[in-house]
Amino acid sequence: MMEHALLEKPGEQTGASDDMRLYFLDHGGNRVLSATSDGGGFEVLVDACCAGPDSIAIDTARGHLYWTNMGVPSRNDGFIMRCDLDGGDLTTIVPPSLTHTPKQLFIEPRGGHLYWCDREGMRVMRCRLDGSSLETLVQTGYGAHQQADARNWCVGLALDAEREQIYWTQKGATKSNTGSILRAPLNPRRKSVSPASRNDIETLFDHLPEPVDLELDAATMTLYWTDRGAPPFGNTLNRSRLQQRGETGLHADVLLGGFNEAIGLSVHPYRNFAYVSDLGGTIRRVSLDGSDTRVVLRDAGNLTGIVAV
């Protein structure tokens, strides 16, 4: 069971100001974009080689951006690309047909791996940064019948590298309140277990409106996620402190609502704020206690993934 609470909605201001650079995706325009965190310095980094870009991650040590491309879901032609921070040196990392509809992407630089969810593929996947050693960690369904059930669709992903745990969302049908957030050991306890028959998966939340992207603050064991479902608990940014489990289960707070299909999320606990992008084309900076929100950009496209550095 889960308790879900609405925090008091803050007043919205315009013109967030700090020293970060944002990298984000325009799903409808098939573009990789960038801007400063006050909304200035807008750049188009990539406007080719994209097909439904969805999630973006940055490898700061190597100076690379990685992003997923959903392709056309019925064609099983999703892929993952990489470029330099200025948009140069475009490289295909995972080519079409090896992942069906890749969604949220996570880079684990110490281990040298990419992790992502594959929506219509109904799985959680991993490969090396160069695309080698591709493998499936979790498989939630097979075949057209199970693929038609959106409760099996894996979308958002977060990784706790120290505790060797993965978190992911299964979003459910549109505005259906059948979404869930799950957790499992990064590697099965028994090596002989297949990705489809794991018995070590824990459901943290269920009956969510439509959860999308995840981020975990591993230092405080606080989980954040966007939800594009129906209000009041959908079209929101949410938070749960995973170590504070009560008698009725975990508690979740809505930090901010009123998004236009909330998707992308970039959380910065040490600065006490997060950036959230939505399909309506707005990027907001939201304080992690829910006390303040500022609009960074409006009408920037059909925005999906975002990362700030």
In CATH, what number is assigned to the domain containing residue 174?
2.120.10.30
How confident is the model over 212-234, as pLDDT tens digits?
999 999 999 999 999 999 999 99
Asked, for residue 223, whether it belongs to a domain, the answer is: yes
Q: Rounded to two decimals, what is the model's pTM?
A: 0.93
d(CA 220, CA 242): 9
Strand partners of residue 266: 275
Q: How confident is the model at residue 16 (pLDDT cuts 50, 70, 90)?
A: very low
d(CA 33, CA 55): 12
Asked, for residue 83, whether it belongs to a domain, the answer is: no
CB-CB contact of 285 with 269 (8 Å): no
Asked, for residue 212, whether it belongs to a domain, the answer is: yes
Bigger pLDDT: 1 vs 87: 87
Asked, for residue 263, whether it belongs to a domain, the answer is: yes
The DSSP bridge pattern shows strands 53-59 and 43-46 to be unpaired
CB-CB contact of 70 with 79 (8 Å): no
- The burial of 237, by beta-carbon neighbours within 10 Å (0-12 exposed, 13-18 middle, 19 or more buried), is given as buried
CA triplet 270, 129, 228: central angle to 5 degrees?
Answer: 55
Domain encompassing residue 123: 2-14+95-298
3-state secondary structure of 50: coil
How confident is the model over 174-206, as pLDDT tens digits?
989 999 999 999 988 777 899 999 999 999 999
Non-local (6+) Cβ contacts of 173 within 8 A are 150, 151
d(CA 118, CA 98): 10
| Entry field: residues in the chain | 309
Asked, for residue 34, whether it belongs to a domain, the answer is: no
Q: With b meaning 16 or more CB within 10 Å and e meaning fewer, what string describes 56-81?
A: bbbbeeeebbbbbbbbebeebbbbbb
Domain count along the chain: 1
Asked, for residue 173, whether it belongs to a domain, the answer is: yes
Q: How confident is the model at residue 27 (pLDDT cuts 50, 70, 90)?
A: very high
Asked, for residue 238, whether it belongs to a domain, the answer is: yes
- Token pair listed for 220: 């405080």
Asked, for residue 43, whether it belongs to a domain, the answer is: no
Other Cβ atoms less than 10 A from the Cβ of 197: the count is 10
d(CA 309, CA 300): 19
